[in-house]
């Protein structure tokens, strides 16, 4: 893990990449089924907690998930967390009313207990490094959710079985090449190798149960991307 990008290096890349994260129709184009996952997650969050009044958006980017959720829950208050100030500024301009923006790393951020009904984390948790960091972040999210609240995730995942992992990464590479070019595939794979440390869907579901989430749901999985959620016990 010592060779991975630092937080400052990751922040700098995202500071310079705001436009790519600002398309509400496509979502983040380097991920598979981004628009579908965004729709599934926001609709699921809205129907599971229809009376939600407060949401936390971790690694909010330019605001796509919050904007989509606001179409379903127009009055919900949004707290947005991101490393990148340009991302936060773009998100605040797009979302408008009822928004609090916090420039921080979720690993360092202190959150009040039982403060949110919905927590979203889209394409951000793969920057966690050690197993303890995953546990600490999941425990923090569980604590900050109100009873019955939902934690909804869309992210890159690895696989438990090596041969399956190879199949899924080959398929992802084919997607990237078809989307743009082989050069684009190589560029994306290079920054994944440098920046990211994803874990398997099974690993994450196990850790969510370990910190106390009682009900889990897998919404969608394609290649090495998955959309899933966990609900805190009432």
Q: Given this model, what pLDDT does residue 17 score?
A: 66
Tokens for 174, please give them.
């084919």
Any domain includes 179: no
- The answer to the question of residue 137 being in a domain is yes
> What tens digit of pLDDT does each residue of 89-106 get?
887 778 777 788 899 999
Which whole number is the average pLDDT over 63-79? Answer: 93
Instruction: Let me know if residue 136 belongs to a domain.
Output: yes
For residue 43, name the pLDDT band (cuts at 50, 70, 90): very high
- Indicate the pLDDT class of residue 16, thresholds 50, 70 and 90: low
* Residue 102 CB coordination number (10 Å): 14
| 74 band by pLDDT with thresholds 50, 70 and 90 | very high
Look at residue 119 in the predicted model and tell me its pLDDT: 98
Question: In the chain, how many domains are there?
Answer: 1
Residue 155 β-bridge partners: 226
**For tokens 């969050």, what's the residue?**
45
Structural domain includes residue 174: no
- Here the CATH number for the domain that contains residue 145 is 3.40.50.150
Residue 68 near residue 91 (C-beta atoms within 8 A): no
**30 lies in some domain:** yes
Asked if residue 19 belongs to a domain, the reply is yes
pLDDT at 215 over 70: yes
Residue-wise pLDDT for 116-149, tens only, equals 999 999 999 999 999 999 999 999 999 999 999 9
Beta strands in the chain (DSSP E): 54-58, 77-82, 99-103, 116-122, 145-156, 215-222, 225-231
| Predicted pLDDT at 191 | 87
Q: What average pLDDT does range 199-221 have in this prediction? A: 97
The answer to whether residue 190 sits within a structural domain is: no
**pLDDT reported for residue 187:** 92
Maximum distance among all alpha carbons in the chain? 49
pLDDT of residue 97: 76
Distance, CA of 60 to chain centre: 8
What's the mean pLDDT in 69-97? Answer: 86
For strand 116-122 and strand 99-103, is the pairing parallel, antiparallel, or unpaired? unpaired
| Strand 145-156, strand 99-103: pairing | unpaired
Q: Is 84 inside a domain boundary?
A: yes
Nearest to 59 by CA among 16, 106, 97: 106
Range of the structural domain that residue 139 is part of: 7-158+197-231
pLDDT in tens, 133-190: 999 999 999 999 999 999 999 999 999 999 999 999 999 999 999 999 999 999 999 9
């Amino acid at each position: 893990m010592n060779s991975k990008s630092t937080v400052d290096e990751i922040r700098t890349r995202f500071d310079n990449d705001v436009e790519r994260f600002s398309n509400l129709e496509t979502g983040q184009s380097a991920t598979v089924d981004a628009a579908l996952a965004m729709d599934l997650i926001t609709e699921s969050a809205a129907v599971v907690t229809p009376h939600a009044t407060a949401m936390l958006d971790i690694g909010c980017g330019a605001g796509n998930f919050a904007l989509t959720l606001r179409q379903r829950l127009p009055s919900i208050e949004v707290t947005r967390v991101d490393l990148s100030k340009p991302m936060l500024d773009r998100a605040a301009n797009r979302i408008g009313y009822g928004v609090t923006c916090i420039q921080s790393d979720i690993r360092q951020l202190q959150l009040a207990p039982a403060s949110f009904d919905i927590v979203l984390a889209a394409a951000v948790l793969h920057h966690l490094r050690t197993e303890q960091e995953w546990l600490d972040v999941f425990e923090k999210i569980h604590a900050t959710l109100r009873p019955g609240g939902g934690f909804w995730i869309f992210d890159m995942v690895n696989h438990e079985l090596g041969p399956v992992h190879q199949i899924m990464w080959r398929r992802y590479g084919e997607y990237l090449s078809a989307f743009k070019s082989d050069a684009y595939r190589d560029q994306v794979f290079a920054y994944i190798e440098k920046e990211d440390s994803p874990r398997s869907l099974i690993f994450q579901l196990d850790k969510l149960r370990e910190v106390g989430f009682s009900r889990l749901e897998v919404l969608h999985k394609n290649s090495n991307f998955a959309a899933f959620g966990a609900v805190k016990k009432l």
